[in-house]
Every structure is written in C-alpha cells, then in structure tokens.
C-alpha cells in the first residue's frame, strides 16, 4: 500500500495570467459574468488555471477554468480538447459539476465556467482523516458510481481519468465528478489505444499499452478510488503497476469491502464488475443502507441538524465509534491512524517528484497520454 497526504505546496508553473492573451480572456469573462469579487486562483497546471469568483450574472460563486491551447501539443489539442468541450456541454447529472458556459474569447484561450464546489477535492477530504469510515465511503462511492453509469449509458462516454482529484464536494458534501480532458465516446465493445489517465488509477492494460475497454478502465479506477477512500493510501506505488494479492492496512477494511475492491481491480477486464455488479454487491447493499438510514435522521445525537455536521468528524470525535444512528453491525474496524503504520513515501513526496519531472519533460505520470 502507498501512503498519501495533502501536498505541502503545489507544483510551481509559469504565471500565464501575466500574458496579454490571458488578460484579454480574463477581461472578457469579467464583463460577461459580471464578476463581483477578485478571481482567486484555485489550481494551476501546465495547460490551465482554475479561479473562483462570485458572478452577478449567475448569482453564485463560479469556477472559471482557462485553458491555454498554445501550451498543448497541437496533435493532443486537436484530439482531446474538442472532446472535453463537447462532453462538458452535454452532461446533466446531480453528481457531475454543472457547466454554465463554454466560450473562446481568444484564439489561444478556452474558458469553461462551472458551478463552484466549496467543499474542495475528495482527496483533501480523505486525507483530512487518513481514510473514511465505510458508511461515509459508501455514500460517496454510490454517487461516483451513479455518475459513471450515467456517462456510460446515457451519453455513451468514458471518463478515462477517474481519480480523487477529479471529484469535488459541494456545500452538503455531495460528490461532483469533473474534468473531461480525456473523455471519449465509447460503447461496451469499444477498444481504445489512447493510453491516457493517471498512473496509480490505471488498469494493467493501460500500463502495458494493450488495447483496452474504456468502460472497464473506468470501473478499475473506481476500485482504486474505493480502496483509497477507505484506507487513505494506494494499493501500489504511483509509478508501479498493481500487484496481486492486494495488501490492506490491518483491521481497516471489512471483508465485504475487500471483495468488492478486488472484483473491480481484477486484471481480466472481461471479468471486472460494472454498475450492476457493484449495486448488487454485499458490501454496497449493507453499508449504503446503513449510510442512508443515518442521513434520514433529522437531528443527530449531538443536537445538530445532520446537514450541518461532518459525519466523519463526528465519528472520530467519538473515538472511532459510529454514532447510534449510523452504526454498522459486524464490521470490527479501527480507523485510528497510527504514524508508525504509515510508509515514509508520502503523497507530498510524490507530488514533489512529479513536479520536478514535469518541469524537465512535461507530464509523466500525473496525467499521461501516448
């Protein structure tokens, strides 16, 4: 297993907002959206920046993603960017961030304006507690599974970059899937030879450069996501291919959760579980039922409306014991995190390594494509 923690500092990239084209795009967005607050930088990559501001036009906080086309190799920009914009415009699901507008105010700049999710990334939420109790993991995993199922069945689209960083939480801690940079149209019979995504979440077929099913690759990434949500770590190193049998932190993952994870990350993609198998799994039905029962309670044992408390904080506040309204039976698990159990290679170390590699040769295994 591979430990993860919130990176201490973001990779340093050039400041694209100092360029005339960026200023031109920003001015356009400011005029159209009637921004009432300064645009705060939320994220920076080699190819884009994401900002937060309050829009008088939409009467809400919005996320403003400005993509710099000139920083993307032409072959990739021509192939992937139109797909991202098409899917971003099409999606309409409660667990996918809602796109408000897509505009191109400058030949080298594309702007995507979306609802702003104030809860931050699921990665940060998981890292805050060193892993989530299974009743909370089940609630969020259900929302992720529904989003993926919607993409596959309603839009015939594979996401191809499912990871904790691409899942945001709104003010009520509901999951919102984002970022369709590697998305493509697909069917269950489709075989893809574009080997893209994020390495720790990539199926063996992707890592070995074998033509793969995009849908099955999404479900594999969901399995890695579930493992990480519960344990706060990856089952393998960020540059390594998954190995079997999978190891788990002692006492942290129930037997039924292990069975579901292993059915999702199985090497043979034809045997890999999909939406139907997940929904019918023993862990999912039992744990989600308890999670939903807890959310149905209007007032928690702490005298606070459930919508206003963090269920995981409440869980840890009571020494790792789930409150009475969310108690799970037959799951003898401990979520107390002991530093002595954590490998020394942290997520922060990995991010530093990634940033150094990216500065030298571009994206390596943060987001990669061949």
Whole-angstrom distance, CA of residue 314 vs CA of residue 327: 12
Pick the last residue of a domain from 78, 95, 115.
115
Predicted local confidence at residue 294, as pLDDT: 59
Predicted local confidence at residue 321, as pLDDT: 46
Say if residues 131 and 231 touch (Cβ distance below 8 Å): yes
- Number of Cβ atoms within 10 Å of the Cβ of 261: 25
Average pLDDT, the chain: 79
95 and 158: one domain? no
- Cα–Cα distances in Å, from 346 out to 233, 251, 349? 9, 21, 5
92 and 175: one domain? no
Whole-angstrom distance, CA of residue 99 vs CA of residue 89: 6
CATH number for the domain harbouring residue 111: 3.30.200.20
The model's pTM is 0.78
Whether 354 is covered by a domain: the verdict is: yes
265 and 250: one domain? yes
344 and 269: one domain? yes
Q: Residue range 149-162: average pLDDT? A: 97
Pick the last residue of a domain from 80, 115, 150.
115
* Residue 93, domain extent: 2-115
228 and 256: one domain? yes
First to last CA, the chain: 27
Predicted local confidence at residue 253, as pLDDT: 95
Q: Residue range 186-207: average pLDDT? A: 93
Whether 215 is covered by a domain: the verdict is: yes
Whether 294 is covered by a domain: the verdict is: no
Predicted local confidence at residue 287, as pLDDT: 86
Whole-angstrom distance, CA of residue 140 vs CA of residue 159: 18
Predicted local confidence at residue 336, as pLDDT: 28
Whole-angstrom distance, CA of residue 333 vs CA of residue 248: 12
Whether 131 is covered by a domain: the verdict is: yes
Predicted local confidence at residue 7, as pLDDT: 40
200 and 275: one domain? yes
CATH number for the domain harbouring residue 253: 1.10.510.10
Whole-angstrom distance, CA of residue 185 vs CA of residue 151: 9
For residue 132, count CB atoms less than 10 angstroms from its CB and return exposed for 0-12, middle for 13-18, buried for 19 or more: buried
Q: Residue range 231-249: average pLDDT? A: 86
pLDDT band at 244 (very low <50, low <70, confident <90, very high): confident
pLDDT of 14 above 60: no
Residue of 101, 25, 40, 28 lying closest to 70 (CA atoms): 25
pLDDT of 301 above 80: no
Whether 328 is covered by a domain: the verdict is: no
The pLDDT > 70 percentage for the chain reads 74
Which residues, 6+ apart, have CB-to-CB distance to 297 below 8 Å?
A: 306, 325
Whether 84 is covered by a domain: the verdict is: yes
Whole-angstrom distance, CA of residue 84 vs CA of residue 68: 14
Pick the last residue of a domain from 74, 89, 115.
115
- Cα–Cα distances in Å, from 265 out to 80, 218, 233? 26, 10, 15
161 assigned to active site: yes
Predicted local confidence at residue 130, as pLDDT: 93
pLDDT band at 32 (very low <50, low <70, confident <90, very high): confident
Q: Which residue has the higher pLDDT, 19 or 38?
A: 38
Two structure tokens written together for 11: 């990779």
144 and 127: one domain? yes
pLDDT band at 291 (very low <50, low <70, confident <90, very high): low
110 and 210: one domain? no
Whether 256 is covered by a domain: the verdict is: yes
Residue of 221, 95, 100 lying closest to 158 (CA atoms): 221
The count of structural domains within the chain is 2
Predicted local confidence at residue 10, as pLDDT: 43
Whole-angstrom distance, CA of residue 263 vs CA of residue 269: 10
140 and 87: one domain? no
Q: Residue range 154-182: average pLDDT? A: 96
128 and 108: one domain? no
132 and 96: one domain? no
137 and 111: one domain? no
For residue 42, count CB atoms less than 10 angstroms from its CB and return exposed for 0-12, middle for 13-18, buried for 19 or more: middle
Whether 333 is covered by a domain: the verdict is: no
Per the residue annotation, which of 161, 218, 274, 306 is the catalytic one?
A: 161
pLDDT band at 236 (very low <50, low <70, confident <90, very high): confident
Q: Which residue has the higher pLDDT, 297 or 172?
A: 172
């Amino acid at each position: 297993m591979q430990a993860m923690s919130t990176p201490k500092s973001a990779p340093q990239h050039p400041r694209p907002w100092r360029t005339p084209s960026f200023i031109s795009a920003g001015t356009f967005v400011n005029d159209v959206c009637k921004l009432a607050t300064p645009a705060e930088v939320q994220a920076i990559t080699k190819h884009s920046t994401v900002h937060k501001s309050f829009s008088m036009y939409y009467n809400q906080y919005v996320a403003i993603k400005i993509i710099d086309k000139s920083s993307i190799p032409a072959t990739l920009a021509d192939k992937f960017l139109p797909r991202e914009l098409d899917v971003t415009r099409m999606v309409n699901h409660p667990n996918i961030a809602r796109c408000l507008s897509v505009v191109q105010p400058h030949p080298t700049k594309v702007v995507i304006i979306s609802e702003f999710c104030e809860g931050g990334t699921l990665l940060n939420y998981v890292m805050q507690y060193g892993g989530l109790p299974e009743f909370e993991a089940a609630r969020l995993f259900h929302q992720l599974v529904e989003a993926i199922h919607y993409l596959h069945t309603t839009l015939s689209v594979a996401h191809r970059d499912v990871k904790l960083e691409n899942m945001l939480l709104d003010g009520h801690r509901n999951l919102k899937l984002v970022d369709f940079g590697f998305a493509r149209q697909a069917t269950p019979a489709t075989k893809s030879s574009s080997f893209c995504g994020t390495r720790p979440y990539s199926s063996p077929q992707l890592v070995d450069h074998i033509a793969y099913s995009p849908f099955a690759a999404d479900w594999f990434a969901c399995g890695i996501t579930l493992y990480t949500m519960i344990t706060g770590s990856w089952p393998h190193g960020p540059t390594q291919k998954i190995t079997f049998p999978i190891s788990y932190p002692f006492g942290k993952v129930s037997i039924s959760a292990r069975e579901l994870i292993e059915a999702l990350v199985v090497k043979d993609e034809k045997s890999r579980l999909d939406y139907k198998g997940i929904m019918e799994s023993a862990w999912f039905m039992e744990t989600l039922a308890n999670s939903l029962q807890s959310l149905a309670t209007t007032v928690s044992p702490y005298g606070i409306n459930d919508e206003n408390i963090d269920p995981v904080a409440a869980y840890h506040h009571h020494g790792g014991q789930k409150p009475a309204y969310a108690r799970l039976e037959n799951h003898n698990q401990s979520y107390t995190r002991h530093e002595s159990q954590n490998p020394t290679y942290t997520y922060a170390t990995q991010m530093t390594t990634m940033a150094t590699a990216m500065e030298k040769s571009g994206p390596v295994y943060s987001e990669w494509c061949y």
